[in-house]
Structure 1
Amino acid sequence: MKDIFALKLYTRVARLGSFSAAARECNLSQSQASRIVAELEESLGTRLLSRTTRAVVPTEAGAEFLARMEPILDALDEAEQSIREGGELRGTLRLGMPSSMAIREVIPRLTPFAARHPKLNIQILLDDKRQDLVREAVDVAIRIGRLTDSRATARLIAKVTRVIIASPSYLGKAGTPTSPADLSQHRIIGGPATLVPNAWVFERDGKTETLELSPHVSTNDNEATVTAATAGMGITSTQQWACRRELRDGSLIRLLAEWRTRDIPVHAYFPAGRATRAAARALIDFLAAEFRSQQEADTEAG
């Protein structure tokens, strides 16, 4: 049987298209990674990777080997987990998500889970763009907004309240809107949450108002959106998770709270074509319970 580590290393080189990137993941030097894969190719009697100065790509034989080997490696991981006493998780769990959500909501909640599974190495990959789950070997990704990837298996784990916010300094100069229609007279900050459908839909007493507002300032990052609002640059629509701290300390004020806005769904995505790992399922179960508790607390607080 081929060395399992060599097989796992090969899959990462093939997916990342880089010996150096795969070596960093596996705590190896580039030369060590190259030697291990070369020895694997020699033992198989075929070239698995085509190497150029610009890229490393699987050969036809390498692509077929990759497609057959990845499910086997996943199954081996699952078999190991299934026989461990006490349900302790081991190995590496790769979790992908937007940076703002990770920093504000997920990482602060992970301590009990990590303490329960001390031999589990949790790797958190932060990217506000949607990640290629297969190429980056992400075991589970958390994404905010509507479903877009039909190839992945998705599980709804939370719904986040959308809020309209501005700073006291901005409202002191521009006035406070008392109805959705008033927003057209204000400076608008555009961010990721304002780019999705229904960003400016308001409901009250059976009445619905939909606004199309052009931003005066825009950014593709939630943290930057909240920072711009805190700095007094205008009004924005974002998820409550993204500005909970600022609402509590008074640096931002929620507007039009008597109007209902459309909740933002939060999904866990599991890569298509791969068995869902026990560690990924356990982490998502844990986070879903945490988010439910937070939602109940937010509802009670009004």
Structure 2
Amino acid sequence: MNDRLAALKLFARAGRVGNFSSAGRELGLSQPSASRLIAALEAEVGATLFSRTTRAVTLTEAGATYLTRVEAILAALDEADHEARGTGELRGVLRVGTPISFGLREIIPRLPAFIKQHPALKIDLLVTDRYPDLVTEGIDVSFQFGALPDSSATARKLIRQPRILTASPDYLRERGTPTMPSDLAHHSVITSPAHPSPTFSFAKDGRVATIRVESQLSMTVNEGAITGAKAGLGIAASSLSSARAELESGALVRILPDWDCGSMEVNAVFVSGKIIKPAARAFTDFLVGELRR
């Protein structure tokens, strides 16, 4: 990579994360090297692109305008390189965001097949149950459940999964198995990002039942709720895929299986207005094919 292209890529990341060191690390550059590249770029452009303080760097007005142009150019260049090769080979870095359960249970087990197809592609996987900032974190595609909090994002639906309730056999032997939604009022229900609200709605044969539960235990990650349910701490709500292995092994039992507890849509999310990276598009297509089998 020549210095000008490296400087543009560094500038684009630094403009989003507000830090030369962090942006440099992503590109394999030391902090002094990153600072020199940015200074050389500013000299070549003939404008100050960043305001610098001891704590952070922020884009100047000229820098913000330049960033918009540069990001479009880098995306177009990536697309042009991909088309010119004409082989479908993917190169560079693909940054993927995913919730913890979906990443551990659905994405990572399928990565070997995709990586085998594209050995020149490097994948950075951001696994977290918080909704990531696609722009500042430089994420090319993020797989998320449910409604999108970021109205500026573009989404493509992958699949829709039922939301289910599960508990361990030991818990059910001790506390009894709920047969009606109203029974949940007498049980311990673990709340998590899969269903953070204490209010549950169920449907069956045209009937709708709404019940408010008391939660003694709340989790910030869905995998924690599944682990808590396995340990006998209560009943957990999750997507079907998040508990499939435990259901198949008998570690968890599905509760109220004949009642509809809603569904959870899985979306591939992209930054709106940006050209989608060929690698992001290819990985999304690959995952759709795998999940819909």
Query: TM-score range, shorter-chain basis?
Result: over 0.9
Q: Which residue of 2 aligns with 1:137?
A: 138
Shift of 1:214: 2.6
Cα distance in structure 1, aligned partners of 2:200 and 2:161: 15
> 1:77-118 CA deviation, whole Å, 9 max, x = no partner?
000001213211111111111122111111111211111111
Shift of 1:133: 0.9
Q: Is the 8 A contact 2:142 2:268 kept in 1?
A: yes
Cα distance in structure 1, aligned partners of 2:24 and 2:207: 57
> 1:44-97 CA deviation, whole Å, 9 max, x = no partner?
222211111111111111111111111011000000001213211111111111
Task: Evaluate the alpha carbon distance shift between residue 24 and residue 2 of structure 1 in structure 2; reply closer, same or farther with a 3 A threshold.
Answer: closer
Shift of 1:28: 1.3
Q: Which residue of 1 aligns with 2:232?
A: 232
Query: What SS does the corresponding residue of 1:214 show, helix, strand or coil?
Result: coil
Q: Which residue of 1 aligns with 2:22?
A: 21
> 1:4-49 CA deviation, whole Å, 9 max, x = no partner?
1110111111111111111110111111111111111122222211
Pairs within 5 Å for 1:40-189: 40-189=41-190
AA aligned opposite 2:203: E
> 1:248-302 CA deviation, whole Å, 9 max, x = no partner?
2211111111222211001111101211121111111111111111xxxxxxxxx
Query: What SS does the corresponding residue of 2:87 show, helix, strand or coil?
Result: helix
TM-score, length-scaled by structure 1 = 0.93
Q: Is the 8 A contact 1:145 1:196 kept in 2?
A: no
1:221 and 2:250 equivalent? no
Cα distance in structure 1, aligned partners of 2:265 and 2:111: 21
Q: Is the 8 A contact 1:142 1:269 kept in 2?
A: yes
Task: Evaluate the alpha carbon distance shift between residue 159 and residue 196 of structure 1 in structure 2; reply closer, same or farther with a 3 A threshold.
Answer: farther
Q: Is the 8 A contact 1:81 1:278 kept in 2?
A: yes
Cα distance in structure 1, aligned partners of 2:86 and 2:277: 17
Q: Which runs of 4+ in 1 moved over 3 A?
A: none
Cα distance in structure 2, aligned partners of 1:138 and 1:146: 18
Aligned residues: 292
Query: What SS does the corresponding residue of 1:131 show, helix, strand or coil?
Result: coil
AA aligned opposite 1:178: T
Q: Which residue of 2 aligns with 1:298?
A: none
Percent of matched pairs sharing the same residue: 46
Query: What SS does the corresponding residue of 2:195 show, helix, strand or coil?
Result: helix
Q: Is the 8 A contact 2:162 2:262 kept in 1?
A: yes
Shift of 1:209: 1.3
Q: Which residue of 2 aligns with 1:243?
A: 243
List runs of 5+ in structure 1 lacking aligned partners: 294-302
Q: Which residue of 2 aligns with 1:31?
A: 32
Greater Cα offset, 220-229 or 38-47 = 38-47
Q: Which residue of 2 aligns with 1:284?
A: 284
Q: Is the 8 A contact 1:47 1:61 kept in 2?
A: yes
Greater Cα offset, 60-69 or 188-197 = 188-197
Cα distance in structure 1, aligned partners of 2:130 and 2:226: 18
Shift of 1:196: 5.9
Q: Is the 8 A contact 2:3 2:37 kept in 1?
A: no
Pairs within 5 Å for 1:177-216: 177-195=178-196, 200-216=200-216
Cα distance in structure 2, aligned partners of 1:214 and 1:64: 51
AA aligned opposite 2:189: I
